[in-house]
Amino acid sequence: MSFFANPNQGLFEMKRTKISALLATQPTGQQVKAEGWVRTFRNNQFISINDGSTIQNLQAVVELNSVDEATLKRITTGACISVTGELIASLGKGQAVEVKVKELIILGDCDAEAYPLQLKNRPSLEYLREIAYLRSRTNTFGAVMRVRHAMAYAIHKFF
């Protein structure tokens, strides 16, 4: 399975792979590119990324001192990033695979103080009515939308 649209392309032009497909892939050291929103960022090294294709997150591991401090400070919950690296078997518990980051690009910043969907304080369904544009980033609404899509697609195939 090739992740390059053209074998002569470099890492910058690699085609993005959905996180659901990456989590189902056996790690053989292949180069992959994943894009999504940061769910958590721990120890200036471990980034949990989600693109909405699955409820599970992909862990991206940044080697210490491989990324400058200014870029690391911009990685906050809600930021949109693109990571390119090697898909390897995970050393930690909770996930089968992880990405060892070789290239990290921040596609969109997010002010951590103003972002309402923090991990530590889960918003109620009443509160989510006020921020309709961010509902799909929660686990509850993401799961509902995936079920709705599967049902609509099954009906479409039937008829």
User: What is the predicted pLDDT for the residue at 1?
Assistant: 32
User: What is the predicted pLDDT for the residue at 98?
Assistant: 93
The verdict on 82 and 145 lying in the same domain is no
The verdict on 128 and 149 lying in the same domain is yes
Task: Find all residues with CB under 8 Å of 13, minimum gap 6, and list them.
Answer: 5, 6
The verdict on 105 and 153 lying in the same domain is no
The verdict on 145 and 71 lying in the same domain is no
The verdict on 89 and 121 lying in the same domain is no
Query: How does residue 36 score in pLDDT terms, banded at 50, 70 and 90?
Result: very high
Render pLDDT for 111-155 as a digit per residue (tens, 0 to 9). 877 776 666 667 777 877 787 777 777 778 888 888 999 999 999
The verdict on 139 and 102 lying in the same domain is no
Domain containing 131 equals: 116-159
> Please, are residues 2 and 14 in contact by the beta-carbon 8 Å criterion?
no
The verdict on 77 and 126 lying in the same domain is no
β-bridge partners, 39? none
User: What is the predicted pLDDT for the residue at 121?
Assistant: 65
What would you measure as the largest C-alpha separation in the chain, in angstroms? 56
Query: How does residue 106 score in pLDDT terms, banded at 50, 70 and 90?
Result: very high
Average of per-residue pLDDT across 22-44: 91
Q: Report the percent of the chain where pLDDT is more than 90.
A: 43
The verdict on 129 and 146 lying in the same domain is yes
The verdict on 99 and 158 lying in the same domain is no
Residue 37 has pLDDT above 80, yes or no: yes
The verdict on 91 and 43 lying in the same domain is yes
The verdict on 135 and 100 lying in the same domain is no
The verdict on 106 and 130 lying in the same domain is no
Residue 95 has pLDDT above 90, yes or no: no
User: What is the predicted pLDDT for the residue at 84?
Assistant: 94
> Please, are residues 90 and 22 in contact by the beta-carbon 8 Å criterion?
no
User: What is the predicted pLDDT for the residue at 7?
Assistant: 44
How many independent structural domains does the chain possess? 2
**CA-CA distance, 43 to 90, in Å (whole number)?**
17
Average of per-residue pLDDT across 53-67: 89
> Between the ranges 3-7, 35-39, 126-130, where is the mean pLDDT highest?
35-39
